[in-house]
Amino acid sequence: MKSIKNVVVVGGGTAGWLAAASLARHLDPLKHHEYSVTLVESPDTPIIGVGEGTWPTMRNTLRNLGIDEFEFIRECDASFKQGTRFVNWHTCGKDETDGVGGRDASYFHSFELPRGMWPIPPGPYWHHMQKELGLSYAEAISPQPAACMHHLAPKGLDTPQYETVLNYAYHLDAGKFATFLRKHACEKLGVTHLLAHVNSVEVSESGFIKSIITKQGDQISGDLFIDCTGFASLLLDKTYHIPFRGVSDTLLVNKAIAMQVPYADEEAPINSPTLSTAQTAGWIWDIGLQSRRGTGYVYSDNHTSPDHAEATLRAYNKQALNSQGGGSVTIDVDQIEARQIDLRLGYREKVFHKNCVGMGLSAAFLEPLEASAIFLIEASCNMLTELFPQRREQLATLEKKYNAVFTERWHRVVDFIKLHYYLSRRTDSDFWLDNTNENSLPDSLKQQLDFWKHYPPTRFDMPSALEPFVRESYEFILYGMEYHADYAWSSGQLPHLHDARENFERIRKLSAEITDVLPSNRALINKILKMR
């Protein structure tokens, strides 16, 4: 019957500070003094710091934490993200170092879903009218790709905080974001922050964590512990030895190399989508922040060497800078530090055990494609705060529910990421040939693809309200990757053909007029920066 009053978050970074802030917002220790939220982080453990992409869910997360959107943008070097543009994924372009790519070599996974602009699901109608329209799926159903191509913001200069014209998330500096969350959590939400290295963990005879012992000999007791210690996983792995289930037989990348590249011109356009450009052994991310671009090559060292990967990333950045034209600053790409990162892809068989919950990299990492990492931290925080246990006797049933939900989420994320690789028609390297080998395909995704050969994605394919990726997201990938399905439409299956044609034309006009409606990303961010 022990009450759960004192929460201890072990580890900082995005995961730790989102967890601490969310729990403090829910428990409100400033008002209810019987509760406490304490975050303990090592002063000498650097964060990974390359998780710079978020989902639109982040707007609600920040708003619910009581954070001013404009302050967040100013303090975190943040910019607006409107989706992902995939370059050279389904076919190999002429020049893989080209960060822009041609129309025929790229497609969009936009954040603006058709629900807001379409009274009917447009997928079947676009597929039926594809040749007539002469537009990719994303371009046909929304003006957001046109906004992205013109480096436009997703809202106007006078649009209220967190409100939209086009759906959006953020690109951000992960290190600055953790610092910003720490300040907000401690000063506004009552989180106690301790800098200390955890030396050992005290566990009771019944298997519950009683306290953590610091290197300085301090004992920090708690009722519920959140493991946010990254790949080290001090609680789930080192203390409880929860097995790690790898997914390297499905997702083949296992390394990344990251570089931060300044703009040559301080007024350079800021990209709205994350650019994801396929390479012979993986793909390069390119994220536009206010003051720099965050870039990185995610690759398989079974298909290329670290030295060649670094050379590939440097060549990409040189080409990207050349395509921007001259600027006031000369950038020597060869002098920019490149950081190698080992990627261990998979998830814990349990992320909730006894009175310990793992979040972030201590729980799972399923590769950076589609930027699911921060979303899954948000989802973890949301579930734990909504079902926060008041007594220890509740933990066993909550543990079962929590683990079942997140095990299913890991599986669905793996399926969705694999979809991008498996549908590729690239044959220029062993990496892509291995990715399109049916032996690397999860049975669950194979069953879906077999169904989608004859039917478009339907609401029956994603029955859970907790799906990480909605049906429309699958449509963006399937249609963007030109998945060839055999749809035998009857007139009864397309009863709104006239209405669809009118709506496609309306979207075409909106796309042509979008530059008159929205400011550029740079213009809107500059206005926000002046509001200090």
The residues assigned a catalytic role are: 81
Rounded CA gap, 201 and 194, in Å? 16
Rounded CA gap, 160 and 208, in Å? 46
Amino acid letter at 213?
A: I
Distances (CA, A) of 456 to 110, 125, 271, 442, 452: 18, 11, 31, 20, 6
Within 69-151, where are the H helices?
69-75, 123-133, 137-141, 144-149
Amino acid letter at 104?
A: D
**Residues near 281 by beta carbon (within 8 Å), at least 6 away in sequence:** 299, 300, 303, 304, 308, 309, 429, 431
**Residues near 496 by beta carbon (within 8 Å), at least 6 away in sequence:** 120, 125
**Residues near 28 by beta carbon (within 8 Å), at least 6 away in sequence:** 35, 189, 190
Q: Are the C-beta atoms of residues 81 and 168 closer than 8 Å to each other? A: yes
Rounded CA gap, 96 and 99, in Å? 8
Residue 34 burial by Cβ neighbours in a 10 Å radius (0-12, 13-18, 19+): exposed
Q: Are the C-beta atoms of residues 285 and 368 closer than 8 Å to each other? A: yes
103-123 burial: b if 16+ Cβ within 10 Å, else e: eebbbbbbbbbbeebbeebbb
Task: Look up residue 379 and give its two tokens.
Answer: 């989802």
Nearest to 252 by CA among 412, 402, 431, 493: 431
Task: Look up residue 396 and give its two tokens.
Answer: 């066993």
Residue 326 burial by Cβ neighbours in a 10 Å radius (0-12, 13-18, 19+): exposed
Residue 440 burial by Cβ neighbours in a 10 Å radius (0-12, 13-18, 19+): middle
The rounded Cα 117 to chain-centroid distance in angstroms is 24
Task: Look up residue 477 and give its two tokens.
Answer: 């990938």
Rounded CA gap, 327 and 313, in Å? 21
Task: Look up residue 193 and give its two tokens.
Answer: 């922050």
